[in-house]
Amino acid sequence: MVRQSFIKGTIILLAAGIINRILGFVPRIVLPRIIGAEGIGLYQMGYPLLIVILTLINGGIPLAVAKLVAEADAEGNHSKIRLILKVALYITVSLSICFAILCVGYADWITKHLFTDDRVYYTFLAMSPIILIGGISSVYRGYFQGLHNMLPTALSQIAETAIRIVTVLTFSYMMLPYGVEYAAAGAMAGVVVGEIIGLLVLLTQFRSDRRRHLLSNKDNSEKLTQFRRLLAVSIPVTASRLVGSASYFLESILIIQSLAIAGVVTAVATAQYGALQGMVIPILLLPTALTYSLSVSLIPSLSEAASKNDMETVHKRMHQSLKLSLVTGAPFAVFMFVLAEPLCMLVYNNAEVGAMLRMMAPVAIFIYIQAPLQAALQALDKPGKALRNTFIGASIKLTLISLLASNPSFGILGAIFAINMNIAIVTILHWVSVTRILKLTMPSIDFFKVAIAIGISGVICQSLYSYTLTDYPIARLSVALLCGLISYFICCLGLKLIDREDLLRVLWLGKKIVK
């Protein structure tokens, strides 16, 4: 089994995440042009409920597998590793089959009573296989992550994304003559095909490695012990994530219903929701390729260090993760703010969406910092605090959506304000929890330096876009972004946010990964 260090594992996942984000933007750009904002709304509408179901099935199982496998690997107990995987697969497959059957059997009732637009019925049916496929994939990813081998996860994500691009666009285009609801369902069927390919890649990687850790015969008491340990770790994490996914599901319903109260007709409300979830959020989450990579690598690394009571390593990993998230995410938040309209015009041919993006851009930094903080709470056996923080944020968000989005003066912008408040509050609460648990401190000078760097680069970016001597929007935007990034990089070097050792380490790891 190939084992990678924390930084190397992060870099591998980051490379895969960047590739996935770039490839993933192909359907994000093209699909709205094929099925329109209304079709995107139908395509996105079923996702919140799917996420709730997936959270119920395996919200905490992959993390529990990664954590327990990392601990067993530190002990050198390979037999226990495979037993953990076997028990986790049994739990996940059993629950997945039950929920998939329920979803198919009650699809008509669910789409008529839980969604405000019953045209989502075909999309909901098309996404049902993801329940089983996605559940199995997540367990195998947790297994590899616990062994500090991020390569299978990276390869499966890239394969899944590459296939999904082709199938989503092809199927949606083929089904468009039958109606926008069938086109949305076709796009979802393409997602299912991508999930299948991603799972096959993981299984291939597992098969090539299975002789490394032969599973010895275990009696039922040992299996029951691992079953209980998995549940003990996964249930609190599942509860925490369930609050977030349930609030996302309720958010989708409340936004549409509140817009209807505000006088927005159903088709327009569906289109506005589609623009928010299918256009604005993907751009906002583009830099999370890094924060996702950090979170995945952080859980087994912190779990292993904490099991050895190595607090020096725990503090070191947290400082690395938070500083990387802040330094790399901050410039994207500024660029999305100053260039919101031209970005949305270039990507979606819809400058009006830029108002939503500009409103959400300032809280993007909170999004990028939140992921490693939440991962730390889970890795340190404090999922209850993550649950409390998420619940507080979700309650405030849903209350504000009901109050603001139903007001004709605010409409969809009221919903965006509510989402922004949720992101900021949950991140701040996570920060307080982690710093209290670990007695962790971050030098305030780093935040000040980042503020200076993004301020300078933001002004340069805005000025160059406004005064570049060319009539080609793509050229103006490219020049502004490139010069903004270069100026930010120079500022980071000058302010010593990035030093020579950081650059040499990244270059060295990059060469190793390419090889």
What is the reported pLDDT for 422? 92
What is the reported pLDDT for 214? 46
State mean pLDDT over 154-160.
87
Tokens of 95: 């629950």
Q: Under the phi-then-psi rule, with left for phi > 0, alpha for psi from -120 to 50, and beta for the rest, what region is 217?
A: beta
What is the reported pLDDT for 290? 62
* pLDDT, the chain, mean: 80
What is the reported pLDDT for 504? 54
The answer to whether residue 216 scores a pLDDT higher than 50 is no
What is the reported pLDDT for 429? 93
Mean pLDDT is highest, among 64-78, 99-113, 243-257, for: 99-113
CA distance 171 to 81: 40
Are residues 383 and 239 in contact, defined by beta-carbon separation less than 8 angstroms? yes
- Confidence at 346, pLDDT banded by 50, 70, 90: confident
The answer to whether residue 506 scores a pLDDT higher than 70 is no
CA distance 279 to 471: 25
CA distance 234 to 228: 10
Instruction: Provide the CA 15 distance to its chain's centre, in angstroms.
Output: 15
Mean pLDDT is highest, among 79-83, 459-463, 506-510, for: 459-463
What is the reported pLDDT for 130? 92
The answer to whether residue 404 scores a pLDDT higher than 60 is yes
The answer to whether residue 515 scores a pLDDT higher than 90 is no
- Confidence at 307, pLDDT banded by 50, 70, 90: low
How many Å is the Cα radius of gyration of the chain?
A: 23
pLDDT in tens, 412-428: 889 899 999 999 999 99
What is the reported pLDDT for 211? 42
What is the reported pLDDT for 301? 66
- Confidence at 61, pLDDT banded by 50, 70, 90: confident
Which of the residue ranges 20-24, 140-144, 262-266 would you say has the lowest mean pLDDT? 20-24
- Confidence at 35, pLDDT banded by 50, 70, 90: confident
State mean pLDDT over 469-489.
84
φ, ψ dihedrals at 264, nearest 5°: -90, 130
Torsion of CA 206, 209, 213, 214, to 10 degrees: 80
What is the reported pLDDT for 509? 46
Instruction: Please report, as a single letter, which amino acid is at residue 93.
Output: V
Place of tokens 């330096």: 449
Per-residue DSSP letter, 106 = T
What is the reported pLDDT for 17? 65
How many CB atoms lie under 10 A from the CB of residue 391? 18
Residue ranges in 76-150 assigned as alpha helix (H): 78-105, 107-113, 121-127, 130-146
CA-to-CA separations, 170 to 34, 35, 175, 192, in angstroms, rounded? 10, 12, 9, 13
Are residues 323 and 270 in contact, defined by beta-carbon separation less than 8 angstroms? no
What is the reported pLDDT for 8? 61
Between 168 and 291, the higher pLDDT residue: 168
State mean pLDDT over 382-397.
86
Are residues 189 and 199 in contact, defined by beta-carbon separation less than 8 angstroms? no
What is the reported pLDDT for 269? 77
Between 61 and 214, the higher pLDDT residue: 61
What is the reported pLDDT for 218? 55
The answer to whether residue 210 scores a pLDDT higher than 80 is no
> Among residues 161, 162, 151, which one has the least CA distance to residue 206?
151
State mean pLDDT over 494-515.
58
pLDDT in tens, 95-128: 899 999 998 888 888 888 777 677 888 888 898 8
Percent of the chain with pLDDT over 90: 14
Tokens of 21: 């984000």
Tokens of 366: 């909170």
Percent of the chain with pLDDT over 70: 85
State mean pLDDT over 18-39.
75
Helix-helix angle 151-175:130-146, to 10 degrees:
160
- Confidence at 213, pLDDT banded by 50, 70, 90: very low
CA distance 226 to 83: 8
Which of the residue ranges 87-101, 198-212, 300-314 would you say has the lowest mean pLDDT? 300-314
Which of the residue ranges 145-149, 173-177, 202-206, 498-502 would you say has the lowest mean pLDDT? 498-502
Three-state secondary structure string covering 236-262 = HHHHHHHHHHHHHHHHHHHHHHHHHHC
Torsion of CA 427, 352, 162, 515, to 10 degrees: -60
Instruction: Provide the CA 154 distance to its chain's centre, in angstroms.
Output: 14
State mean pLDDT over 123-137.
90
